[in-house]
Amino acid sequence: MEFTEPYKQSGPCSFSPNARFIAVAVDYRLVIRDVLTLKVVQLYSCLDKITYIEWALDSEYILCGLYKRPMIQAWSLMQPDWTCKIDEGPAGITYARWSPDSRHILTTSEFQLRLTVWSLLNTACIHVQWPKHGSKGVSFTKDGKFAAVCTRRDCKDYVNLLSCHTWEIISVFAVDTLDLADIQWSPDDSAIVIWDSSLEYKILIYSPDGRCLSKYQAYESGLGVKSVAWSPCSQFLAVGSYDQMLRVLNHLTWKVFAEFTHLSTVRAPCSAAVFKEVDEPLQLDMSELTLSDDLVPQSGDDAPETRIEVRYDVMELPINLPCQKPPADKPNPKQGIGLVSWSSDSLYICTRNDSMPTVLWIWDVQRLELAAILIQKEPVRAAAWDPICTRLILCTGSSHLYMWTPSGAYCINVPLTDFSVTDLKWNFDGSCLLLKDKEFFCCAAVPMLQESSDYSSDD
């Protein structure tokens, strides 16, 4: 990998959907950089510190959430003098998002009083009363024609289906939930999944016309669903639960065809490769050493610098995985499947059991078995699949990146001083990674994936 020099950032950073630009928040300024050269293309000054940014799907507009004020400002890359400011007044704004046509902005007021659709074409606005959530509870079809908005009135949850052309409500149907948590269209727009809050295990599949296609409940009397993810091919639905299991439903019968258990001890006959991050100290001489240098103790600037590198060791089974027992007297226990992510080809799923924060699991959906386990020294902060090929990159807040492919796992050193990778994002064309530190960001050019027949643990 090739890494750029670090640049200042103080908040969200995001690639544009056309993979040409990077938007970076630096306090109250929005900096737009070219992906290839990282030169500044546009610089905008907002009225307050930027807490959220989002690109329009056509990459021509970008919005900034100034939630402390609270207001929204939007900018145009094609028309540098054009600007838009949205202020709900006493109602406030808790969240904003773009519509699929890139010409409307949807905002949710404080206390979920209303969801407002603002037009950039004619300054018109349309209101939807009583949205269920601020940042959740809204999902668009992939073709951009319809929006599903969750609302709640009279102690009952509803789904409002809106046309993204006229923003009129086409239909409204009640859903069988006690406290709706979120909603997602399937990638092929054929079904809608809705799940209940963590207090009630319930997965509901609805057709766009409001018919309930299936209802799934794995168990009762326990914390329920924690994470849900559609496969990119729309054929599978992965459901992570507080019981430390991942269940995968198929789109034909909406029944569970695979259950993956996250055990604290992995034993044979499991065929998964287990990679463990270990230290590898290196002695780097900062000056040329002669025979006499080797015999005389060195100190000061001429002394060799000791730097800790890491590598993956392949472990043998059985193996005990590091596990934390959550306290029983605190809310939001750190247990259950908090991270679920599909590879772009829908062949693999990566998961993290929150009671084992340093362990990342990779499951083979074709063979219905565990493919690999990555054991890190620090908790996994973020993991992201390459949008083009089967490659997973993760970070743990250290100065290293970690990569897994079906051919092996690798540790990659980030050659920047005092740079700890706390978050990462792929560019949409899979050409590079955006890496975030607490105060800086850099980009890493990623080479094309070359398949190998053996496992490797070198940098």
- Give pLDDT tens digits along the chain (459 positions): 899 999 999 999 999 999 999 999 999 999 999 999 999 999 999 999 999 999 999 999 999 999 988 899 999 999 989 999 999 888 899 999 999 999 999 999 999 999 999 999 887 899 999 999 999 999 999 999 999 999 999 999 999 999 999 999 999 999 999 999 999 999 999 999 999 999 999 999 999 999 999 999 999 988 999 999 999 999 999 999 999 999 999 999 999 999 999 999 999 888 999 999 999 876 555 554 444 444 344 444 544 444 578 999 999 999 999 998 887 777 777 899 999 999 999 999 999 999 999 999 999 999 999 999 999 999 999 999 999 999 999 999 999 999 999 999 999 999 999 999 999 999 999 999 999 999 999 999 998 776 543 444 444
Q: What are residue 81's phi and psi, to 5 degrees?
A: -85, -10
Class of the CATH domain delimited by 1-87: mainly beta
Three-state SS for 292?
Answer: helix
The pLDDT of residue 296 is: 42
Nearest-CA neighbor of 370 among 380, 359, 381? 359
User: Would you say the C-alpha torsion 328, 329, 335, 336 has a positive or negative sign?
Assistant: positive
**CB-based burial label for 345 (10 Å; 0-12, 13-18, 19+):** middle
The pLDDT of residue 457 is: 44
- For residue 44, the 8-state DSSP code is E
CB atoms within 10 A of CB 337: 26
Nearest-CA neighbor of 416 among 395, 392, 393, 440? 440
Note whether 308 and 411 are within 8 A (CB).
no
Say which residues have a Cβ less than 8 Å from residue 365's Cβ, sequence separation at least 6. Answer: 231, 236, 248, 258, 346, 347, 348, 349
The pLDDT of residue 282 is: 64
Instruction: Determine the Cα angle at 186 with ends 57 and 339, to 5°.
Output: 85
In angstroms, the CA 459 to CA 409 distance is 10
Nearest-CA neighbor of 21 among 66, 50, 46, 58? 58
Cα radius of gyration (the chain): 24
pTM of the model: 0.90
Q: H/E element holding 295?
A: helix 291-295
